[in-house]
Amino acid sequence: MVERRSIGWMPGAVDTRPPAGRAELDAAVAALSGLRLAVLTGAGLSTDSGLPDYRGPAAAPRNPMTYEQFTSSARHRQHYWARNHLGWHSMYRTEPNPGHLALAAMERAGTVLGVITQNVDRLHERAGSGRVVDLHGNYNRIRCLSCGWECTRAELDDKLLALNPGFLERVKELGDVEIAPDADAVLESTTGFVVASCPVCGGVLKPDIVFFGESVPQSRVREAFGIVDDADALLVAGTSLAVMSGLRFVRHAARGRKPIVIINRGLTRGDELASVRLNTGTSEALSMLAERLSP
């Protein structure tokens, strides 16, 4: 398969092609039938669980915090943790949707070898998937950047609630607050929010999430490439492949001449490498594939 650049792609691009019909679904089944699959997922998979995506046609513009901002500015950390404190209280109650459950079922059946996810919401694990590479980390672990002390996000929440009594109630009185896919929240005023420091050394606490401008740990990248190498085909669901972090696995599979099926609402940066492209929702398509690809 020759790699070609997707000239017409741009962030949030609308797919003007008709929604996938029976012919496209049959083609996806034919392309993947009898093969062991590596799966790459993005924020679009979790929209049916109530979480927004990043770059879909309906996604709101976002300006996420960078690693440099977080590590160099106490004011930026205050802003981040105030928003995260609110966002986490919404995210941890989110439940897996039929798409997550379908992938877990396909893994149990031996069809899916593993999932590489760009999401930090842990919904794959909660759905029952066993082999998951959280490429960008997940919101559940907190680490001190100085001494390496760790705790869970729930443990940190106890500290933040004690340091900021009444904060959540005051914010909720302001009305609806938009929650982002990385447990961030759109919140204008964070004045007065008290940030928790490391109880061991007083250092900066950071969630185990790869911020913009921060590199994905090489151990995770190697593990993810290993899943693609072990598989016979690659199934991509719910990502526009806008950043190289995910696109590199599609390009790697294409160089290995492996079938690639992409499921996404909206165009993706990897469309021209796909054997089959489904312009449809992930829950519907993955549920169908789980049923029809079952041994």
pLDDT in tens, 62-85: 567 899 999 999 999 998 998 888
Average pLDDT of each block of 10 consecutive residues along the chain (295 residues)?
A: 44 70 93 98 94 57 80 92 85 91 98 97 96 94 96 96 90 59 56 93 96 93 98 97 94 98 94 95 96 90
Element containing residue 157 per DSSP (H, E): helix 153-163
Taking the C-alpha atoms of residue 142 and residue 123, their distance in angstroms, rounded to an integer, is 18
Q: What is the pLDDT at residue 33?
A: 97
Q: What is the CATH number of domain 22-51+100-136+216-292?
A: 3.40.50.1220
Q: What is the pLDDT of residues 178-225, one digit of tens each?
A: 555 554 555 556 778 999 999 999 999 999 999 988 999 999 999 999
The DSSP string of 233-249 is: EEEEES----SHHHHHH
Rounded Cα distance between 46 and 118, Å, is 11
What is the pLDDT, as a whole number, of residue 4? 36
Known active-site residue 89: no
**Is 263 in contact with 278 (CB distance < 8 Å)?**
yes
Per-state percent for the chain, helix, strand, coil, to nearest 5: 40, 15, 45
- Beta bridge pairs of residue 191: none
C-alpha 94, offset from chain centre: 14
* Residues linked to residue 159 through DSSP beta bridges, in sequence order: none
The catalytic position among 89, 100, 136, 252 is 136
Where, residue-wise, is CATH 3.40.50.1220 in the chain? 22-51+100-136+216-292
State the DSSP code for 55. Answer: S
Report the distance separating Cα 232 and Cα 244, nearest Å. Answer: 22
Q: What angle do CA 264, 9, 119 make, to 5 degrees?
A: 45
Q: What is the pLDDT of residue 87?
A: 82
One-letter-per-residue 3-state SS of 194-218: CCCCCCCCCCCEEEEECCECCCCCH
Average pLDDT, the chain: 88
